[in-house]
A and B are shown apart, each in its own frame.
Chain A
């Protein structure tokens, strides 16, 4: 029986997910039964020490990897046992990805890099205008014709964000999007993401140690040794207060 309170589903549900990597004889348990729910419009930040399984968790949500056991439900679809073709479709229709290394294609200009996402989704109508709009949203309206090598790190990351949002995905998944940027540039990038969350209603799942990002979050989760907690498990994984600088 389904009761009314459960009728309103979560946008993302991770249920008791395990992910085991086996490398020959050695087995690494990156996720040991992780649980989490994210609702539509939320801005969730995930914290945790290196090696605690943050990237692995994002990969499950973002359709880049599948769990060894447990369930992952995104936008009402159970993607746990998706084939690689179905995962591709999932990434294409629902997810926008942002990586720590911006992963722009050097032979394409900023607007072409953004447009590539549309070409991949086979949705090329007016791509130049849409790419331009996406770039304008991240404050790069005038730099569409530049090649990645002609952009600063922060600009490159904003192009990557534009690329993630140009398809208007329900969810943007970002793995340390500011990890490669100085704090000021990081703040700008964070601001762009927050605006998108508030104005466009895009749900964000972000792994970040950046204080300016975790301050924006309406849910902060802490990972430790393959498990998710709602409060810090050790001092080091808490957002470091000493670096807070405000204008």
Chain B
């Protein structure tokens, strides 16, 4: 081994602190980028595999009225419509259910599926128990999230509301379905992991329960050629739509649950890139700062090598090797942590979703590992090359001169002149750090930016949670003011419903509405989507947060949720079509999960063919639990109730899980802040070691050292926070636009988040200050002054 290589290895070993700072910074960014990417790829692969195993649909057709099964079996739909590879029919009916021995009523989604065979499309994954024995058994399969939340097991019974009373069924299986990855409520579009009971039973049982004949209302289709999906959908609608029955189709990716899933996966994809990139940028700064300081501290040796006739490039190469070696070690560390992180990430995620089928996609993640390592190595090489080039370019005469000559002072910096006028700021403990910061303005600026950037992660995550919570509160306090939404099995006269509800003791106020699913398309484009529309007449129990304060007006005006509008790529004044009717977009709403469309009551009634009728009502009640029982037993044809407070709680439960993941992010952010501020303070002190040695030989006490080092750390922390907050605010806004596909969120950040961010920076600085003081105090004065041995 050459002498220089020995020098390199020994110095790497002695300067453990510096080397580990570099390795941690770079390893962390490799781990975060590659680890999140791998986690995301694994989750995506798991989703794909679980859809494959359950033979998940390409699209789903809903019939607004129950339709005879014979309609699609004779003649066979496959002979009538092209491009259908496989299909199955079923009943999907919302209702209410009770768990054995409990009074609480839960929202139930009943799936009536063939009892004598497994579903061909949208099969279930049996986690526990067996599929039905026959069409005649009063048996049910229960979705795993609900079963877990309500502690249900095989052999337990549940009661399902038929419209008239509750009927008992025995649980024979606990299942998982890709339709309920997130357990999204089809009406609220919000996930509900505890209170939404998705239940499967033989279709014959469903028909009997609700008193239907041999009918179905949902058709699940897998196509042969995915490119022709739109044509296939259109021919199904043309073929089966009648005057009474509206047929609408939802493609897999537009279904609430898949939509949620894709948005979530997309969000993770964005997050791993943004997050990895952010940490990488910080790592670049850390590396630049640390490596250039390491090289600078070797100025004397560079001078020696140069006076011995060492060629400039040889010296530069030596430091490039140093950087490369660190890069390689960091990569190894990074890859190990990436694997651990992806494993943790994947498991946290699949645990939340209770995904029983998991898969990995190391091959798919390989390029990201390549990128992370490649960029990491490139950075260390470039950074060490540049700093070595700079150091080796000074003449040996300059290099050999005392360490102080590089710091040329000709006048006092302005902040010092100003600050020292303030009483209490006259001491050298303040002057020295200010001069230190002003001496190298470019590096100080870089330090503040990096410091700010690392605090950004903490601030950004907190800010996002704040904004989200604000939006939730806003939505459930100012937009939805009802306590319960009542949905009917079949439409009834609107006055009848209103009066029927007001008769009840618990009901204070009732306002009816009409709703249904329609297919909205944009003329002259291929943009089309199955959408739920609501008709309201100036309700007081619901507000609309409309852009430019539009109000819902009668006539052919439609008001679209911002996410729906974004999907259709329309704005106020654009035209959309529902069936043969053209509507003008009268306004865009900015609410939470707003993918719904709103019309004036009468317009909606006409559109849905329900003149004078309503399909549900918003009610204000005195006691929610009493009112629920009263409404269900009122004799009105109630299908199910949605209780606002339950939805809110369900969402909060989910958010807690998500916040768990966000806390991992915040924790990493804290780590980065701590690492960087620590690095900044410690490295700065190390590079000015001689200065502090002089203080000590002059008899400086521990307190004085703390003062001098502390003042500099605090100035950096303070200015860093100042930089972090405006960038952080913009960061949160940007964050909110990323989730725009999922939900609309306004940017609102709590004061406490500002304070926590600043406190984090300060605490991290304090740790750095403490470490720096310790370092200075541990220096052997004899060695340093005698030999200039700086390691």
Residues of A within 8 A of B (CB): 24, 59, 62, 64-65, 84-85, 88-93, 95, 97, 99, 101-108, 112, 115-117, 119-122, 124, 127, 148-149, 153, 156, 163, 167
Contacts and interface: CB of A to CB of B under 8 A. Distances in A.
Contacts of B11: 107
A8 B460 CA distance: 79
Contacts of A117: 308-309
A105 B395 contact: no
13 contacts: A59-B397, A64-B307, A88-B306, A103-B300, A104-B304, A108-B7, A112-B3, A116-B305, A117-B308, A120-B314, A122-B311, A122-B314, A148-B789
A149 B789 contact: yes
Contact of A24 (B6, B303, B410, B783): B410
Contact of A105 (B7, B312, B397): B7
Q: Select the residue from B6, B312, B396 with max chain A CB neighbours within 10 A.
A: B396
A105 B302 CA distance: 10
B508 interface: no
A209 B720 CA distance: 53
Contact of B308 (A92, A112, A127): A92
Contacts of A153: 786
Interface in B276-316: 300-301, 303-312, 314
Contacts of A107: 6-7, 10-11, 14, 791
Interface pairs A-B: 10 shortest CB-CB: A92-B309, A120-B310, A91-B309, A106-B789, A120-B308, A107-B10, A117-B308, A97-B307, A112-B3, A64-B397
Interface of B: 2-4, 6-7, 10-11, 14, 300-301, 303-312, 314, 395-397, 400, 410, 783, 786-791
B308 to A, nearest CB: 4
Contact of B312 (A64, A85, A104): A85
- Report whether over half of chain B's contact residues are helix, strand or loop; otherwise say mixed: helix
Given A64-B395, A105-B301, A120 B7 contact: no
Contacts of B783: 149
A101 B788 contact: yes
Contacts, number: 96
Given A64-B397, A64-B400, A107-B791, 7 more contacts: A88-B310, A91-B306, A92-B308, A103-B301, A112-B7, A120-B311, A148-B787
Contacts of A108: 3, 6-7, 10
Nearest to A124: B2
A122 B6 CA distance: 16
A138 to B, nearest CB: 17
B576 to A, nearest CB: 73
B791 A105 contact: no
A170 to B, nearest CB: 13
Given A107-B14, A108-B3, A121 B791 contact: no
A180 B783 CA distance: 15
Nearest to B315: A120
A65 B395 contact: yes
Contacts of B311: 85, 88, 92, 120, 122
A188 to B, nearest CB: 19
B788 A105 contact: no
A112 B6 contact: yes
A210 B307 CA distance: 24
A107 B3 CA distance: 10
A103 B305 contact: no
B300 A120 contact: no
Contacts of B790: 106
Contact of A116 (B308, B395, B787): B308
A95 B4 CA distance: 21
A91 B400 CA distance: 15
Contacts of B788: 101
B308 A91 contact: yes
A38 B7 CA distance: 37
Contact of A119 (B2, B397, B400): B2
A120 B305 contact: yes
B5 to A, nearest CB: 10
B3 A93 contact: no
Contacts of B3: 108, 112, 115-116, 119, 127
A117 to B, nearest CB: 5
Nearest to B311: A88
A96 to B, nearest CB: 8
B410 to A, nearest CB: 7
A48 to B, nearest CB: 19
Nearest to A151: B787
